[in-house]
Structure 1
C-alpha cells in the first residue's frame, strides 16, 4: 500500500506490529520527524491507538 492512499476517515485493518489484527477508523494522520506516516486508529468500542501507516491496509467495511 502506498502511504498517500490512506486518508482521514478510512476504515483500516492493522496487518503488522503491536496492534496486529485490530481495525478501526484512521484519524490524525501525521508525518513524523523521521518522515514516516503515523496515524491514530479509533476502534468501534472507542479505544484509540497509534501505529505507522505502513502497518495498515484500507478495507471496505
Structure 2
C-alpha cells in the first residue's frame, strides 16, 4: 500500500496551505533542504512554475 504522504516526480498535486494554497500542477524537482524541508517545483497546466 502506498503511503498517502509520499510524493514523487511527476505526481499531480494540489497545494493545501501557505502562499500557493489552491494551486495545483505536476510536481517536479523535489529536493530536501539543509534544514530538512522538502521543496517542490510545481508546473501548472498553463506552464507557469512555482516553488513550494
Higher helix share: 1
- Alignment RMSD, CA only? 0.9
Query: TM-score by structure 2 length?
Result: 0.89
Larger radius of gyration: 2
Structure 2 unaligned blocks of 5 or more = none
* Matched length: 49
Query: TM-score by structure 1 length?
Result: 0.77
- Which protein, 1 or 2, shows the higher relative CO under an 8 Å CA cutoff with sep ≥ 6? 1
Structure 1 unaligned blocks of 5 or more = 52-61
